[in-house]
Amino acid sequence: MNNHKDAIVVKDLVKKYGDFTAVDGISFEVKKGELFGILGQNGAGKTTTLEIIETLKPLTSGEVWVEGFNATDSPWEVKKRIGVQLQSAGFYPELTLVELINMFAALYNVHVDARALLKKVDLEEKAGAYVNKLSGGQKQRFAVMSTLINKPSILFLDEPTTGLDPHARVSLWETIEEIKKSGVTIVLTTHYLEEAEKLCDRVAIMDSGKIIKIGTPNELIKELLAGGFRRKIVRQEATLEDVFLHLTGKTLDE
């Protein structure tokens, strides 16, 4: 146990797979209640970093602390405090949403109000439905909700909106913002810069296993502009994504 005031502290973290260095000496802290984004292209090392913090993978060197507990020495103390987004493929297809929530609650040995949880993610009407009858966006919202069953203080969301259409993405953003408001610390990875700009208090930009920059989205943009950067084309007032959302207001698969 150590007295870190931060939710997460990562110090000089290295992860090697044989000769290949996937995470190359990264350090960062995540403050309590913060929504922290890790941005990077495919293969940058985002998932590996998350899985080490979640105690699902051993590190090669460095230190990881979660709410004052060392992830290598006290993995169970870490596991108790975190929620990890499950992929919907992992849900039993023959159980309804309410039955799934009750099953997870039984596994965690906690009491939850399944319908209240479903309401939180706007799935109240689907309480008796099977997961494979949900749309992509609904499945993702259910997956995010399922991480809240053990009442974690830190949530890890690995590319939560990948593959979703624009409306479903915006709806999941609202869910994530609601969860943040309840005081949960959130670490999220994404390829979508717009998502990071909208949701994250601070972002770490990761490239080839290294963190090349950390700051608030505003700070990073200001710094870029202060360095003389100007867009070649002036930013549009609205995007095609805005047009699509404005016209349809619903997901394509609903």
* Interface residue list for ligand ATP (CB under 6 A): 17, 20, 22, 40, 42-48
CB of 95 to ligand ATP, least distance (A): 28
Q: What phi, psi does 205 have (nearest 5°)? A: -100, 120
CB of 163 to ligand ATP, least distance (A): 12
Q: Which is nearer to ligand ATP, 40 or 83 (CB)?
A: 40
CB of 121 to ligand ATP, least distance (A): 24
Q: Which is nearer to ligand ATP, 43 or 93 (CB)?
A: 43
Strands (E), the chain: 8-17, 20-30, 35-39, 61-66, 69-70, 82-84, 154-158, 185-190, 202-207, 210-215
Q: What is the SS3 assignment for 239?
A: coil
CB of 87 to ligand ATP, least distance (A): 12
Q: Which is nearer to ligand ATP, 42 or 109 (CB)?
A: 42
Q: Which is nearer to ligand ATP, 36 or 104 (CB)?
A: 36
> Could you tell me whether strands 210-215 and 202-207 are parallel, antiparallel, or unpaired per DSSP bridges?
antiparallel
